[in-house]
Structure 1
Amino acid sequence: MTEASALFHRLLDHLLESPLLAVVLTLLAYSIGIRVFRRLGSPAWCPPVLVAAVVVAVILWLFSIEYEDYSRGSTWLTWLLGPATVALGVPLYQQFHHIRALWRPILLTLPPAAILAAVYALVLASWLGASPEVMASLAPKSVTTPIAVGITAQIGGSLSLMMGGLLITGVVAILFVDLIAPRLGIRDERIIGLVLGINGHAIGTVRAFEISATAGAFSSLGMGLTGVFTAVWLPIAWQMLGFV
């Protein structure tokens, strides 16, 4: 190792001790993601968060930065997801007259949809021979991150694997809704928003707000209720099934 290389790695180790590097890297990656997203014409299959995740992964690999070091530095950014989720109550309040008119169908639809979102992942993972830890990491894949972190820790999953599952689920949910809804003749923004929120959590909600404020409000509702409902039933079901 040359003197310049050793100096670079010492500087890198020093930066990793503070959140500065992780924050700058995250913001830079997301900025690149937005630019790529707009340059490609805002396609549903390539949201900024997906591009940003790839950019971060490549940089970590190129500079031999351990994910644990990056994750430790970006902890406070993850913490900000909680207040950001709570802030979605503003569009919910603005569109409450629409939500109030449909509260019965929403309450009848959301529980089985939230259960199915976890069950089909568990069935597929079990069929492919996944370990209990992997299954616990995939079970809350449709729940918004602040709640999913708590669920994963409670049922014994891996947070890094859970985060990957959340990203993939959000992107796939957006893609499927954009492809299938027009073919099924579904144009009601309330239905589209609710589906995006239940299945695509925060990533789907961002897409819903791109559609309209109404879609965004229903997506926020679906995401919030799915998170609360899953946080209640999934740990109980996990224990009853004997996984913990």
Structure 2
Amino acid sequence: MSGAVDAVLDQPLLWLVVTLLAYQLGLWLRGRTGAHPLAQPVLVAIVVVGALVVFLDVDYASYAEDTAVITFVLGPATVALAVPLHRQLARLRGFVLPLLTAVVAGAAVSVAAAVGLVRLLGGDELLARSMAPKATTTPVSIAVSETLGGLPPLTAALTITAGILGAVAGPGVLGLLRVRDHRARGLAVGSASHGIGTGRMIVDHPVEGAFSGLAMGLTALVTSVVAPLLVALLL
């Protein structure tokens, strides 16, 4: 029996298929539940695939090798977020200065709050440096973490967690705060929850998705500049 299981697990691209099926399950659940906040395809896929990897004791290197194509297409997929923004260019009129101000302020607050919270709760400097760039998209957060002297794998986990939390709770919190402007809603979620949050906003509203994608890119750029300065100042 063990030999048969090992033979199946050794099949090339097995985990690519499993990951895509898990994401498809997430899409199905989102549709069946009326887009419930917890029925986020990324969250469902992480839970399902993570459980299988742990239960079957699969080496991460094997999983990463099977799913390398997904990692490869993340770059083009991120660039493709410019398409919905291009369709909403008219909505940028009179909004550029507030947008840039909000992104710069948001990135600075995110880094400072992360470092301050870790230190306040008794965390060490390494954890603070790893957590500082959590609001940027994962490839950028990993690169910034390396620059800051953090632990890139931990930063990646924190970044993904922040993205999931933002996608699940972000729109609801904005609703409670009575933020109705679709541009502001997209800007807020994209700044805090990068690509995962942007995926949620694209489904919710085209304007929110477009501005979330823009905020994601600008936040990554600003954080890569301000994070080293703030971390050096605070630590």
Task: State the shift of 1:127 in Å.
Answer: 2.7
Count of residue correspondences: 235
Task: State the shift of 1:7 in Å.
Answer: 5.0
Find the aligned partners of 1:242 and 1:73 in 2 and give their Cα distance. Answer: 41
| TM-score normalised by the chain length of structure 2 | 0.88
Q: Aligned match of 2:69 in 59, 63, 76?
A: 76
* 1:152 aligns to 2:145 (yes or no): yes
Task: State the shift of 1:47 in Å.
Answer: 0.9
Aligned Cα root-mean-square deviation (Å): 2.3
* Distance verdict in 2 for CA 1:25–1:131, change over 3 Å: farther
CA contact (8 A) 1:79 1:146 kept: no
Any idea what SS the aligned residue of 1:153 has? helix
Find the aligned partners of 1:67 and 1:130 in 2 and give their Cα distance. Answer: 28
* 1:181 aligns to 2:178 (yes or no): no
Task: State the shift of 1:51 in Å.
Answer: 0.9
Task: State the shift of 1:91 in Å.
Answer: 1.5
The residue that corresponds to 2:2 in the other structure is 5
Q: Aligned match of 2:162 in 140, 163, 169?
A: 169
* Distance verdict in 2 for CA 1:205–1:242, change over 3 Å: closer
Farther-moved stretch of structure 1 (30-39 vs 156-165): 156-165
Farther-moved stretch of structure 1 (229-238 vs 128-137): 128-137
The residue that corresponds to 2:28 in the other structure is 35
Q: Which ranges of structure 2 fall in alignment gaps of 5 or more residues?
A: none
* Distance verdict in 2 for CA 1:124–1:68, change over 3 Å: farther
| TM-score normalised by the chain length of structure 1 | 0.85
Percent same amino acid among aligned pairs?
34
* Distance verdict in 2 for CA 1:225–1:172, change over 3 Å: same
In the TM superposition, 1:84-233 aligns within 5 A as 84-233=77-226
CA contact (8 A) 2:112 2:230 kept: no
CA contact (8 A) 1:45 1:171 kept: no
* Distance verdict in 2 for CA 1:74–1:154, change over 3 Å: farther
* Distance verdict in 2 for CA 1:193–1:157, change over 3 Å: same
Q: Deviations over 1:146-195 (max 9, x none)?
A: 32232233333334322322232123223443323233322111111110
